[in-house]
């Protein structure tokens, strides 16, 4: 964290990087974290490396939340969540490829909707919680530089 503070990032930028990085890190789409994190960091003019570090540190949570989000998201778009089991998906891939893609497509879109609903308040809470913490760290750093 000290190296990031030395790069001249403001508490606002650090808090925004943390909030957006965590939210993107738990997106229920495997492989999307790097692309979304990079795009968000470039668009918001944040540190890309810090964004990717934070978002990739969320990988265990992403995996933990993925199946529940898929199961709860499936009924939102008309898919039967009870058919969303590994055995059923494996059966569909061998006997009804179109049915497998339909089930997974609807479950994934529903999971993304749930993620969006949860990511906005999560991001706001993280941003407003992290900003004073980073402000304090920056003030401590400035005091140490004045003393030393």
Q: Which of 100, 77, 78 is nearest to 88 (CA)?
A: 100
Tens of pLDDT, residues 67-108: 889 889 888 887 776 767 778 778 878 888 887 788 888 889
5 burial via Cβ count (<10 Å: 0-12, 13-18, 19+): middle
Q: Tell me the whole-structure pTM to 2 decimals.
A: 0.81
pLDDT tens for each residue of 37-59: 999 999 999 999 999 999 999 99
SS3 105: helix
Q: Environment class of residue 111 by beta-carbon count within 10 Å: exposed (0-12), middle (13-18) or buried (19+)?
A: buried
């Amino acid at each position: 964290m000290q190296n990031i503070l030395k790069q001249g990032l403001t508490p606002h930028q650090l808090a925004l990087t943390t909030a957006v990085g965590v939210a993107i890190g738990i997106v229920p789409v495997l492989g999307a974290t790097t692309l979304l994190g990079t795009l968000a960091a470039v668009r918001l003019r944040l540190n890309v490396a810090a964004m990717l570090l934070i978002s990739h540190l969320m990988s265990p949570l992403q995996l933990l939340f993925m199946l529940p989000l898929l199961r709860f998201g499936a009924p939102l778009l008309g898919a039967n969540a009870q058919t969303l089991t590994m055995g059923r998906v494996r059966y569909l891939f061998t006997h009804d490829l179109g049915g497998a893609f339909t089930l997974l497509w609807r479950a994934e879109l529903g999971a993304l909707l749930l993620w969006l609903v949860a990511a906005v308040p999560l991001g706001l809470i993280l941003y407003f919680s992290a900003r004073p913490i980073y402000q304090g760290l920056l003030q401590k750093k400035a005091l140490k530089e004045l003393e030393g």
